[in-house]
Chains A and B, each alone.
Chain A
Amino acid sequence: MTPFLLLQALVLLGLVVTAVLIISFKDLLAAAIAFAAFSLLLSLEFYLLQAPDVAIAEAGIGAGLTTAIFIIAIRGTQRHEEKN
């Protein structure tokens, strides 16, 4: 197994782990930050697949703007998920 494939496997594993973390967090701010980490890993994967244009767009929109919108929404509502 070449180092390139190993790096790609690590990134994909990190993607799955952060995706599970997003849906398992009860603290919504932590979930938003986990989503930012997911987007950053996704943009790294795009870069590894030699699509730097898509990587820049993903890093800007996914990791930056979407997280900002989520944090603004959390600021307007409440931080923790309700227990029922």
Chain B
Amino acid sequence: MRHVLFSAILLLFFGGLMYLAADLPFGDPPRTDMDDYFLRNAQAQTGANNVVTSIVFDFRGFDTLGEATVLFTAVLGVGMMFRKLKEGEEYEND
């Protein structure tokens, strides 16, 4: 009984979401000022044929620097977690 009720509520919720989302414009945004600017000027300003790369590495290069730093920090954290213990050193199990 509870499973049926739960499934009905879930179905109703996602059905409502789908109904609302049907009206959203997808892949066809009404405001395209920024897109037009990138498509018109990316090749002339950066010299790259791939507009996506020219955005990721040039127009938004600061974000990519942050992403590279995040990856570096993640690897540092994993290295600290899995490091070799020194002689006679134990994990603290509190």
**Interfacial chain B residues near A53, Cβ < 8 Å:** 52-53
**Interfacial chain A residues near B52, Cβ < 8 Å:** 53
Q: How far is the CB of A48 from chain B (nearest CB, A)?
A: 12
Return the CB mask of B41-80 against A: 1 if under 8 Å, else 0.
0000000000011000000000000000000000000000
The B interface, classified by DSSP as helix, strand, loop or mixed, is helix
**Interfacial chain B residues near A49, Cβ < 8 Å:** 27
Which residues of chain A from 24 to 61 have any CB-CB distance to chain B below 8 Å in the complex? Answer: 49, 53
Closest to A54 in B: B52
Closest to B53 in A: A53
Q: How far is the CB of B48 from chain A (nearest CB, A)?
A: 13
Closest to B26 in A: A49
Cα A53 to Cα B53 with chains together (Å): 9
Q: How far is the CB of A8 from chain B (nearest CB, A)?
A: 12
Closest to A49 in B: B27
Closest to A52 in B: B52
Closest to B52 in A: A53
Cα A81 to Cα B51 with chains together (Å): 47
Q: How far is the CB of A43 from chain B (nearest CB, A)?
A: 16
Cα A49 to Cα B27 with chains together (Å): 9
Cα A5 to Cα B46 with chains together (Å): 36
Return the CB mask of B8-32 against A: 1 if under 8 Å, else 0.
0000000000000000000100000
**Interfacial chain A residues near B53, Cβ < 8 Å:** 53
3 smallest beta-carbon distances between A and B, as pairs: A53-B52, A49-B27, A53-B53
